[in-house]
Structure 1
Amino acid sequence: AMMSRSIMTRVALNILTVIILLLSGCCDANRKLLVFLIDGFRYDYMDDLQNLAGFREIVDNGVKVDYLTPDFPSLSYPNYYSLMTGRYCEVHQMTGNYMWDKDTMKEFLIGTNPDSRLPMWWDGSEPLWVTMQKLGKRVYMYYWPGCEVTILGVRPTFCEEYVYNPSEKNLIDSMESALNMLKSDKADMAGIYYEKIDVEGHHFGPHSPEIQHAIRSLDQAFQTLNQKIKEKNMRDDINVVLFSDHGMTDLQWMEKVIELDNYIDMTHIIKMMDRGPVVSLWPKQDKFEEIYQNLSTVDNMNVYKKQEIPDRFHYKNGRFVSTLTLVAEPGWFITENKAKLPFWKNGTEEAGGWQHGWHGCIKLVNTFVMLQKNISKNVLTLH
């Protein structure tokens, strides 16, 4: 059975509870923590676990949940922050990969946009690394989005700033550095972000040879990690946690497109942020009702005024939520027109792309959680 919409935050809280218990020394005061955020890793990517020795060793020495349902919207930045704060998007305020603040006219754009580093986007809740720093712990973070931001006046001890799609060499080097910092007591926790799985999923799809190769390469990296932990005699000194922000659907966004140009005059829109399953619109004041009524007739999509967004999304109270939010039915993609569709030319066939972001009713956007070492199998019981 599918998880209820309320479970994501309970899961995030459970993950944070486990991490905090480990860091507090409830099990062994000498143990350090190594956390991996693997972007876009779908819950079933490890179904062939017998042929993934790196992942299998972690599972054999710990616990793996069946799947984790992302918070709404099932996009990267909202769920990065839900996982690290244990709070819904409307509480931590990270409500999209693309956001706009009408008061300052600033934009948050996924990636390396300088304005996205402004504390105002991040200060809605306290992420784990900030909590740890406040408690006198030392945190080293590698390519983790947001680690370069001063959040509530705090930065981690060390931050290797995010770059688009860190390479496998970046990953291996980060693992080596993190283990050395943890081993030498320069760090109490290290966090590593890896984007390759998400990139290949978007470009080639979740069943492609490219995604299978990326998974095998990632598994090789974890085989190396497991070996280095043994070589450094750290098996009794470290806990390892792996999780992801969302999965990936089998749906190509080129197939079912809702073209807003067919229903509204886009010159009446002050701002539009994002394209895809969830789109944010700020219509001109004198055109608001007209825009709302026109969009209300569109099939395969719901349009919500801010205060009419369903409570189950835990979204409408977000500071940066738009005056109109468009939510597509599963499999449908919202854009101005087909010419504005994002896609990739992969060199072998027609341009295309795969997507996530639909709300909780497609199991394929679900992701995974794995915890290794000094963690009881009874601590986290999720199905």
Structure 2
Amino acid sequence: MRLQLDLFLLLVLVVSRVVCTPLKKSEDRKKLLLVSFDGFRWDYDQDVDTPNLDQLAVDGVKAKYITPPMLTMTSPSHFTTITGRWVEDHEVVHNMMFNTTTNLKVPHKESMKRSEWWDNGVLPLWITAQNQGLKTASFFFPGGGVSYRGQAVNRTRLAEVGHPDDNVTEWRQNVDTVVSWFSKEEFDLVTLYFGEPDNVGHAKGPDHPDRKKIIAQIDYIIGYLRDAINNHNLMDSLNVIITSDHGMTTIKKRPQVDEIILNKYLNLIKLASFEILDYGGFGILTPRPGKEQEVYDALSKAPNLTVYKKHEMPESFHLGRSERLPPIVVMADLGFNLNSRFIVYVNKGDHGFHNGEMDMKMIFRAFGPSFKKNFVSEPFDSVHIYPLMCELLQIQPEPHNGSLEVTRDLLWSGGESHRTGLPAALLLWVLVWLSSVV
């Protein structure tokens, strides 16, 4: 009887510690991998056999879809994800780096090396994590290859101009590299970027069979990633978020529609001092002095688009307070691309349209020790991913526009991981049994 009583009291102590005492954060910190597939529309997996993505929905969490910020472009959207700030706050207002005074225009991939385009006072997650003692890396991720307040990301890989984005052999190598950074070099945060299915969506359109092929390839690499995580014994220590930056829609062309040529409605050379208008569904323009109202009125007569004065844009756009954005913003209706003087636009698919359009929504999947299993979340804005990542890394976030309350339901016990050792339910069962015999 005495032995049974001693066992009973000992088990009470063990159960109470398992159930009631959380581990210290320093002892329970998990690593985080953020993966982005550029241009992965929210429904791209619905017309393709994707066994690995399907399994993720069972083994982790998914959102029905998530909404990118305005603007639905690669650089602005990725920087919202990694900072938790709206575009008007972080000021990465286009894929192209530009200067309205000098008329400088730097192509998308070249802008990845220019700190002055990204370093506008808002700190991205890499730097915030490093400042709190963590080790971070960026692999091709937009914004990861420059310095912020003079501080660079601990390790960076940048894609060169012309670098192919669809080579599956290289994808496997990149996954192997990133996973080894976690397992062999103790990195805490790594961001990994893939340029597909954006490229094939632009070149062929979202409904083309080649888009379906690249989704199958993405599904394969997700399975490869999960195997690599398992082979490196990271299943219990690594959380993974898989998302995107925007969706994709089919571009309307002749003879089905009349394409938009803005120079038919105003003399761009006479009335504008700067413009980026041949870049999909989103355009910006700086009128010559005293010509803003004339430009606005002329563009308002053009079909299949909406023209805004920057300071009069809807608050929900979160663009109006931007100092970098020019005074006139033009947004085409879904599927209509903007042409300035000639029809030079060759893309069959594009983005940059209103983020309320379903074709602009994108995916969200997550798995790992801190996430629930077989859980489907209601849609949310991508700005809320940032506080979720800070919670997973157990770091203090910078000021941001997101809210952890939006994503807290994705996590076990508000972010705490599963406990090791015997499950609490089993211990409680044993406790009840012992009490019956004492």
Query: TM-score band (shorter)?
Result: 0.7 to 0.9
Contact residue 103 and residue 274 of structure 2 kept, 8 A: no
Q: Which residue does the alignment assign to 1:381? A: 377
Deviation per residue, 1:41-77 (Å, 9 max, x gap): 010112257x323223332221010001111121111
> Separation in 2 of the partners of 1:52 and 1:253?
31
Identify the match of residue 273 of structure 1 among 257, 273, 276. Answer: 276
Q: Work out the CA distance in 2 between the residues paired with 1:253 and 1:365.
A: 19
Per the alignment, do residues 87 and 165 of structure 1 end up closer, same or farther by CA in structure 2, a change over 3 Å counting? farther
- What's the counterpart of residue 189 of structure 2? 189
CA distance in 2, matches of 1:318, 1:64: 32
Q: 1:367 aligns with which of 359, 362, 366?
A: 362
Match of 1:242 in 2: 242
The equivalent of 2:168 in structure 1 is: 168
The CA RMSD measured in Å over matched residues stands at: 2.5
State the shift of 1:292 in Å: 2.3
Tell me how far apart the structure 2 counterparts of residues 97 and 62 of structure 1 sit (CA, whole Å): 32
TM superposition shift of 1:139 = 1.0
**Larger of the two Rg values belongs to structure:** 2
Q: Are the counterparts in 2 of residues 256 and 332 from structure 1 also a CA contact under 8 Å?
A: no
Q: Please state whether the residue corresponding to 2:67 is helix, strand or coil.
A: coil
The percent of aligned pairs where both chains have the same amino acid is: 25
Question: CA–CA distance in 2 between the matches of 1:172 and 1:229?
Answer: 13
Q: Which aligned pairs between 1:1-383 and structure 2 lie closer than 5 A?
A: 29-47=28-46, 51-102=49-100, 106-113=104-111, 117-163=114-160, 164-166=163-165, 167-252=167-252, 255-268=257-270, 269-275=272-278, 276-341=280-345, 343=346, 352-377=347-372, 381-383=377-379
* Distance in 1 separating the partners of 2:47 and 2:103: 48
Q: Alpha-carbon deviation of 1:243?
A: 0.6
TM-score normalised by L of structure 2: 0.74
Displacement of 1:219 in angstroms is 1.3
Question: What is the DSSP-based 3-state SS (H/G/I as helix, E as strand, rest coil) of the residue aligned with 1:33?
Answer: strand
Structure 2 Cα separation of the partners of residues 373 and 283 of structure 1: 51
Q: Distance in 1 between matches of 2:182 and 2:378?
A: 29
Partner of 1:4: none
Q: CA deviation at 1:155?
A: 1.3
Normalised to the residue count of structure 1, the TM-score between the two structures is 0.84
- Residues 206 and 339 of structure 1, relative CA distance in 2, 3 Å threshold: closer
List alignment gaps of at least 5 residues for structure 2: 1-22, 380-438
Report how far residue 108 of structure 1 moved.
4.6
Aligned length: 349
Instruction: Return 271-280 or 259-268, whichever deviates more.
Output: 271-280
- Aligned-pair CA distance for 1:25: 7.7
Q: Which amino acid aligns with 2:31?
A: K
Residue 298 of structure 1 aligns to a residue whose secondary structure is: coil
Q: CA deviation at 1:28?
A: 6.8
For residues 266 and 342 of structure 2, what CA distance do their matches in structure 1 show? 15
What is the alpha-carbon distance in structure 1 between the residues aligned to residue 350 and residue 291 of structure 2? Answer: 31
For 2:105 and 2:342, how far apart are their aligned partners in 1?
Answer: 24
Following TM superposition, the consecutive aligned residue runs of length 4 or more in structure 1 with deviations greater than 4 angstroms are 24-28, 103-106, 253-256
